[in-house]
Copies of this chain bind each other. A is one copy, B any other.
Amino acid sequence: MRLGGHVLANLKQLAQSLGLSITTVSRALDGYADVSASTRQRVQEAADKAGYRPNASARRLRKQRAELVAVTLPSEPGHIGPPHFLDMLSGCAEHLASAGLNLVIAPVPHGESELDMCRRFVDGRRVDAMLLVRTKRDDERVEFLQSRGFPFVTNGRTESAIQHPFIDGDGFSGFHNATLRFHRAGHRRIAHVAGPQDYYFAHVRRQGWEAAMRECELPVDLYAEQAPTEQGGYEAALSLLHRPDRPTSIVCATDEMAIGVLRALREVDGGQSVSVVGHDDLPIGAFTSPALSTMRMTGENLGRSFASLLLRAIAGEPAEALQELHAIEFVDRDSHRRPPRAA
């Protein structure tokens, strides 16, 4: 196979070989109108033949754009990721690429805070924007980026006084509805297994559950908070199941926790007596026993949405125009069908 020979390194060489100036070659390739059609074509052909590509670093320096966007990878508990996280990243990267930007992944180095990392990227002008995942209610990364006036989009809201671009699921409504669903099915002791309340998603999900419980005039103390992991869910469930007012149903902040809850239920009574619902629609949920009923954020091609918001944030659109709150839909499987009065 012929893969194309040596590559003409730069504009200078290309210009020389054509007997033109660097300026003209550059402008010809960029499609400016002040280059004659014939010259443009000649340049274009020569460039194609030589396999010329502009040096990215040089363009970046001159244009003062890094042509890069960083996405933070949470290293902390709860493992990585929203199920379709990699799909999302992939879609995001692809759409960014069509605008000439690349996506760099930025895990938090050992012994460094997420804030330090942001600082490195922002102050070193290594990227044009940042994509933050796993927001906290009071998120120092958000505060920092706002103080720098740096473009960013978060996956998840915050309680920041200043608006910022985000994409998030409507966790309040999702958990509110899920709780009401249990209530309609006759459940009265509906528990909530919550994640750490400094995370926005965990807090807002709890609020949805709590609001529904109050509306139904049910107590809001059937509640356990743990790390957003399988182990956390397991422990939360054990503590709830040993209470005298043992719940007949459990609304879990995440699928990962819900899977831990199912394990606890199997150990305690074979898993047949308590209804469970999770959130995230992890693929694994279809394979648990019973198959895990759950919730998922609506909207397809989330990666594209993130990319679009990022580009618009870079372009300077105001934050208010860059906020997407997606509805939550119920995923109907088996684990939520236990009767409200258990043995």
Contact = CB atoms under 8 A, between A and B. Distances in A.
Interface of A: 1, 3-4, 7, 51-58, 60-61, 64, 66, 68, 70, 73, 75, 80-81, 85-87, 89-91, 93-94, 97-98, 102-110, 119-120, 123-126, 140, 143-144, 147-148, 283-284, 287-289
Q: How many monomers of this protein are in the complex?
A: 2
B80 A107 contact: no
A107 B97 contact: yes
A-B pairs, 4 with minimum CB distance? A53-B124, A57-B60, A287-B287, A57-B61
B56 A75 contact: no
A143 B51 CA distance: 17
Contacts of A120: 53
B90 A86 contact: no
Contacts of A1: 140, 143
Nearest to A71: B105
Contacts of A51: 119, 123
Given A55-B124, A56-B126, 20 more contacts: A3-B143, A4-B119, A7-B148, A52-B123, A53-B123, A53-B125, A55-B125, A56-B66, A56-B124, A57-B57, A68-B102, A70-B102, A73-B93, A80-B86, A85-B86, A86-B86, A93-B104, A284-B287, A287-B288, A289-B289
6 contacts: A7-B123, A56-B125, A60-B60, A75-B90, A93-B104, A284-B284
A178 B10 CA distance: 54
Q: Which of A58, A70, A125 has its CB near the most chain B CB atoms (within 10 A)?
A: A125
Nearest to A9: B125
B93 A125 contact: no
Contacts of A93: 73, 104-107
Contacts of A123: 7, 51-53
Contact of A102 (B86, B94, B126, B143): B126
A85 B85 CA distance: 12
A259 to B, nearest CB: 8
Contacts of A87: 80
Contacts of A126: 56, 102
A68 B148 CA distance: 25
Contacts of A52: 123
Contacts of A60: 57, 60-61
A109 B81 CA distance: 23
A107 B86 CA distance: 11
Contacts of A144: 3
B80 A105 contact: no
A124 B102 CA distance: 13
Q: Which of A57, A75, A89, A125 has its CB near the most chain B CB atoms (within 10 A)?
A: A57
A89 B61 contact: no
A206 B148 CA distance: 56
Given A53-B120, A287-B287, A81 B86 contact: yes
Contacts of A143: 1, 3
Contact of A103 (B104, B124, B140): B104
A180 to B, nearest CB: 29
